[in-house]
Amino acid sequence: MTDFSSEEKTILVQYGIKKYEKEETVFEKLKTILSEKDIQRNIDTLIGTQKVRRIGPEVLQNNESHTELPDLPENLKPIIDNL
């Protein structure tokens, strides 16, 4: 696994949520690049800071009406494209 900064991990999780929304799918796709602990911690943090909201028991959604998605750094674009 590549070493990502905490900010990069958060961005990866946010873009994973934007791409898939179903929590199970987000975990499945991101676990090849992040640990499950990192994924869960970032989801919890994003929900706590209201950047992501839970829609029903299984669906996550970026709260784009409340806060904008961060810009995707160049080094993360190929990772998101390949998820």
> What's the average model confidence in pLDDT over 60-81?
91
pTM: 0.91
The residue ranges of every structural domain in the chain are: 6-65
pLDDT band at 75 (very low <50, low <70, confident <90, very high): very high
User: Is residue 21 predicted with pLDDT exceeding 80?
Assistant: yes
- For residue 34, the SS3 value is coil
Cα angle value 71/17/3 (rounded, 5°): 65
pLDDT tens profile 34-43: 999 999 999 9
CATH code for the part of the protein at 6-65: 1.10.10
Strand partners, 53: 61
- Report the distance separating Cα 74 and Cα 31, nearest Å: 21
